[in-house]
């Protein structure tokens, strides 16, 4: 067993969408000591629970994935909750990990931390050049504080903390609940339900002109594992595919893959969110050899198939 596989890992959010894939990826790399806490046992919003978690898990490496997340609708409905819970799950955890002499802390931030009008492709140096897009700024800023904390702790304490910024993720095990899902699972569910009920029209939010970059969740998990093993610098790193698609083209593609043949009507009164998103992937490629492998259409097809196999009617 190599040195990385022999380490003890604590993966917060390890039973969630991205976290479960990260745990799978660590196991593929030969890691056997992986502690996945559950909220009912360790509420990360409670400082005593965080201390108890670190005592019980005794990790060498913490990968912090636990988060309160959702699409535009959820971010608009619960901005205070998204800010507070994401900030308070992350900041005390990193502090207590430092106090517990954890050897490495991997903080997972978000593409939503970038300024609203960031030039495409998003370079990591652009993170502080403006305010995030308003619909998800509280969430994005809370997660960006993990970068601030990681850099400050490395400077003052020599604590090995890194911050990664994944782009929009999709894939098997995603959240398909209408009120909290992101755009891809929301579209998959709506098109399939419309097809099965014979509904002739589906309404999509916004104008469809905004663009997004999407990364298949298994690729994201591999990137996080590579960074956990090989990256120790204090500079933020994007984890993405390096390509973008308009929401209009995405919607047409999901309609085709789900077999929906009705009309798509755009509700321009609803927000588009950030105008464009596509990240530079050069730093991840250079620093720890990460490149996305799964094509977008292949990943979407796998996501549709997973949902059909696992949904409850």
In the set 114, 139, 170, 231, the catalytic residue is 139
CA angle 85/89/91 to nearest 5° reads 115
CB burial of 175-206 (b: ≥16 within 10 Å; e: otherwise) equals bbeeebbbbbbbbbbbbbebbeeeeeebebbb
Neighbours of 119 (CB within 10 A): 10
Pairing of β 245-246 and β 211-212? antiparallel
Measured in whole angstroms, how far is the alpha carbon of residue 235 from the centre of its chain? 18
Terminal-residue alpha carbon distance, the chain: 44
3-state helix, strand, coil in the chain (%, to 5): 45, 15, 40
Q: What is the Cα gyration radius of the chain? A: 19
Name the token pair of 264.
């798509």
139 given a catalytic annotation: yes
Catalytically active residues, by annotation: 139
């Amino acid at each position: 067993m190599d040195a990385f596989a022999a380490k003890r890992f604590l993966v917060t959010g390890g039973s969630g969408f991205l976290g479960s894939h990260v745990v799978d990826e660590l196991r593929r790399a030969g890691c056997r000591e992986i502690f996945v806490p559950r909220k009912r046992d360790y509420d990360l919003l409670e400082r005593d629970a965080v201390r108890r978690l670190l005592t019980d898990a005794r990790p060498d490496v913490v990968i912090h994935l636990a988060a309160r997340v959702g699409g535009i609708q959820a971010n608009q409905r619960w901005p205070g909750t998204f800010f507070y819970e994401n900030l308070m799950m992350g900041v005390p955890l990193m502090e207590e990990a430092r106090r517990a002499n954890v050897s490495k802390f991997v903080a997972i931030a978000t593409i939503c931390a970038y300024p609203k009008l960031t030039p495409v492709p998003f370079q990591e140096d652009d993170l502080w050049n403006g305010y995030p897009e308003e619909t998800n700024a509280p969430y994005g800023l809370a997660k960006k504080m993990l970068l601030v904390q990681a850099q400050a702790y490395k400077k003052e304490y020599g604590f090995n903390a890194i911050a990664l910024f994944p782009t929009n993720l999709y894939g098997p095990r995603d959240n398909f609940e209408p009120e909290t899902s992101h755009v891809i699972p929301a579209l998959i569910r709506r098109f399939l339900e419309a097809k099965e009920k014979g509904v002739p029209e589906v309404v999509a939010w916004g104008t469809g002109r905004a663009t997004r970059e999407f990364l298949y969740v298994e690729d994201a998990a591999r990137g996080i594992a590579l960074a956990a093993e090989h990256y120790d610098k204090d500079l933020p790193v994007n984890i993405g595919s390096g390509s973008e698609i308009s929401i209009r083209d995405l919607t047409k593609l999901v309609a085709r893959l789900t077999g929906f043949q009705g009309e798509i009507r755009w509700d321009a009164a609803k927000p588009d969110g950030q105008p464009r998103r596509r990240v530079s992937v050069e730093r991840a490629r250079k620093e720890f050899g990460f490149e996305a492998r799964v094509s977008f259409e292949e990943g979407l097809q796998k996501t549709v198939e997973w949902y059909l196999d696992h949904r409850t009617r």
